[in-house]
Chains A and B, each alone.
Chain A
Amino acid sequence: MGRSQEIYIRAPRFGNINRILGKAVLYGVVTAMTLPIIIMYLWLFMQSVSEKVLIGFIPSGFTADGWRFLWGPVKFGEVLLPPIWPITLNSLIIALGVTGIEVSIALMAGYALSRLRVPFRDSFLILIIILHAFPGITLLIAIFYLLNVMGLINTLLSVIIAKAALEIPMATWLIKGFFDAVPWDVEASALVDGCSRLQAWYKVILPLVKPGVAAVAIFAFLAGWNEFIYALTFIFDPNLYPLSIHIIGLIGEFRYVDYTLLAATALFYSIPPLVFFVITQKAFMKVPLVGMKGA
Chain B
Amino acid sequence: MAQTKWAAISIILLLVGVGIGYGIWGTAAPATVTETITQTKTETVGGQTITVTETAAGTTIIQTQTVTRTQTVTAAMQPVELAISVWAAGDPASVTRVDNIVNACNRLVKFAGTLGAPYTCTIEETYYHRGGWEDYEKKIFLAFEAGELPDIIAVGHEWIPVLADKGMIVPLDEYINKYWDFAFFDVPETLWNAVRYKGKLWAIPQDTEARPLYIWKPALKGLGWSDEEIAALPEKIKNGEFTLDDMLEVAKQAVDAGLVKYGVLHRPTPGGELWQVIFAYGGKLWNPDTGNMVLDKEAMQRALEWFYRASRELQVLPQDMTTWSWRSIHTAVVSGETLFWFGGTWHWAEWQKVEYHPELGAVPESYLWENFIFALVPSGFQGGKPVTLSHPFVYVVTSQSENPEGAALVLAVASQPEFDVAHAVGSAHIPVRKSSLEHPAMKASKFLSDVAYMLDYATFLPMHPLWGKYRKIIYDAIAAVELGKMAPADALKFIEDSIKADPELSTVVEIV
Contact = CB atoms under 8 A, between A and B. Distances in A.
Interface in A147-171: 148, 153-154
A237 B142 CA distance: 13
A79 B325 contact: no
A117 B94 CA distance: 64
A253 interface: yes
A77 B326 contact: no
A253 to B, nearest CB: 5
Interface string B125-156: 01101111000000100110110100000000
Given A77-B92, A77-B353, A79-B92, A255 B146 contact: no
A238 interface: yes
A146 to B, nearest CB: 12
Contacts of B92: 76-79, 252, 256
A127 interface: no
B426 interface: yes
A251 interface: yes
Contacts of A256: 91-92, 129, 354
Nearest to B356: A255
B489 to A, nearest CB: 34
Contacts of A27: none
Given A78-B95, A233-B142, A254-B326, A154 B130 contact: no
Contacts of B96: 78
A79 B327 contact: no
B131 A78 contact: no
Interface in A234-259: 236-238, 245, 248-249, 251-257
A77 B327 contact: no
Nearest to A154: B148
A131 B143 CA distance: 28
Given A78-B93, A255-B91, A255-B354, A153 B146 contact: yes
Contacts of A236: 126, 139, 142-143, 146, 148
B141 to A, nearest CB: 11
A80 B98 CA distance: 12
Given A76-B92, A77-B92, A78-B426, A255 B330 contact: yes
A254 B126 contact: no
A195 to B, nearest CB: 48
A29 B177 CA distance: 75
Q: Which of A79, A144, A145, A245 has the most CB of B within 10 A?
A: A79
B129 A79 contact: yes
Interface in A188-244: 233, 236-238
Contacts of A233: 142
A254 B330 CA distance: 11
Given A233-B142, A254-B327, A77 B131 contact: no
Nearest to B139: A236
A75 B194 CA distance: 33
Interface string B148-177: 100000000000000000000000000000
Interface in A61-91: 76-79
Contacts of B95: 77-79
A76 B95 CA distance: 10
Nearest to A75: B92
Interface string B76-94: 0000000000000001111
B146 A76 contact: no
Q: Which of B96, B130, B139 has the most CB of A within 10 A?
A: B130
Given A148-B145, A238-B126, A255-B354, A77 B132 contact: no
Interface residues of A, number: 23
A76 B129 contact: yes
Interface in B323-374: 325-327, 330, 350, 353-354
Contacts of B127: 79
Interface string B269-292: 000000000000000000000000
Contacts of B326: 253-255
Contact of A252 (B130, B148, B350, B426): B130
A6 B92 CA distance: 78
A155 to B, nearest CB: 11
B195 to A, nearest CB: 25
Contacts of B330: 255
Nearest to A81: B129
Contacts of B146: 144, 148, 153-154, 236
Nearest to A233: B142
A238 B142 CA distance: 15
A153 B145 CA distance: 10
A245 B325 CA distance: 21
A77 B128 CA distance: 12
Given A78-B92, A78-B426, A255-B330, A248 B130 contact: yes
A165 B327 CA distance: 40
B142 A144 contact: yes
A148 B143 CA distance: 10
Nearest to B353: A77
A249 B130 contact: yes
A109 B326 CA distance: 50
B129 A257 contact: no
A283 B148 CA distance: 44
Given A77-B92, A78-B426, A236-B148, A249 B129 contact: yes
Nearest to B96: A78
Contacts of A154: 146, 148
Contacts of A251: 130
Given A77-B91, A236-B148, A253 B139 contact: no
A81 to B, nearest CB: 10
Contacts of A153: 146, 148
Closest 10 pairs (CB-CB, A-B): A77-B92, A249-B130, A153-B146, A78-B95, A254-B327, A255-B326, A79-B92, A79-B95, A236-B148, A148-B146
Given A144-B146, A236-B126, A248-B131, 19 more contacts: A77-B129, A78-B93, A78-B426, A79-B92, A144-B145, A145-B145, A154-B146, A236-B139, A236-B143, A236-B146, A236-B148, A249-B130, A251-B130, A253-B325, A253-B327, A255-B327, A255-B330, A255-B350, A256-B354
11 contacts: A78-B96, A79-B92, A144-B145, A153-B148, A236-B139, A248-B131, A252-B130, A254-B327, A255-B326, A255-B330, A256-B92
